[in-house]
Amino acid sequence: MKQYHDLLRHVLENGIKKEDRTGTGTLSTFGYQMRFNLQEGFPLVTTKYVNYEKVLGELLAFIAGETNANVIAEKYRFKTWKLWADEDGELGPVYGKQWRSWWGASSIINRKGIDQLQNVVEQIKTNPNSRRLIVSAWNVGELDDMALPPCHLLFQFYVADGKLSCQLYQRSADLFLGVPYNIASYATLIHMIAQVTGLEVGEFVHTLGDAHIYLNHVEQVKEQLSREPRELPQLGLEPDIKNIDDFDFDDFSLILYNPHPAIKADVSV
């Protein structure tokens, strides 16, 4: 995870102080890219404990198209979305809705959303050289109806030498709390889609727009950077699953994860 630690150092040393929507304030830099070779291990931060069950729960909720924070908390064991939900737990057409039922002009005519995720899986199987293997959550026509516009908003797959890679564009990146989850989530998604399409895993390329450390996380980041990284874990998947919708919690195993203790920090809402 040297790439991630280098990014933290870069922002601590070079970041510009900026005000932000939450009122917390940030150290911010614009435009940064990390690359993770998934053949070398599963990129889950070891310099602090990251709860992988929460990473997995949020991802499974997105794949299921779920947009109610109460359901995400109860069924998928991820409670953080409640911070942005209304009194009924509704979040509006956030990630899962866009991945599985994109609503655009053709949808009005056909009365049916577009399943971007399933479409891209089928394209990887049938036309792996396509340069259109893209899923977008940035649906301009529905942004105002979302509790929180997507931060990680577009991802593209790439197939070469029997390996599946993915590049994510993230417009806004909370480096201490959010980004370790984002890295692990998309690395997991690559493993899942590689398995159901008969490929090996390749690279995860993480491209960031506004990469920031909240001012109330600076001391936590310094503590994290004082720790020595440990060997990356491995991710195991139930090998018989061949459909992206058939995965559940018990189908994943995190092998040899030996992190330093957790470091607490507040979420800026």
- Active site amino acids: 151
Burial of 225 (0-12, 13-18, 19+ CB in 10 A): middle
Beta strands in the chain (DSSP E): 16-18, 26-37, 134-136, 152-160, 163-174, 200-214, 234-237, 252-255
List the strands of the sheet with 26-37, edge to edge: 16-18, 26-37, 200-214, 163-174, 152-160, 134-136
**What gap in Å lies between CA 186 and CA 204, rounded to an integer?**
7
Kindly state the DSSP code that residue 267 receives in the 8-state scheme. Answer: P
**What gap in Å lies between CA 192 and CA 170, rounded to an integer?**
21
Whether 17 and 26 have beta carbons less than 8 Å apart is answered as yes
Please give the distance of CA 129 from its chain centroid, rounded to a whole number: 24
**What gap in Å lies between CA 171 and CA 169, rounded to an integer?**
6
Phi, psi values for residue 24, rounded to 5°: -80, -40
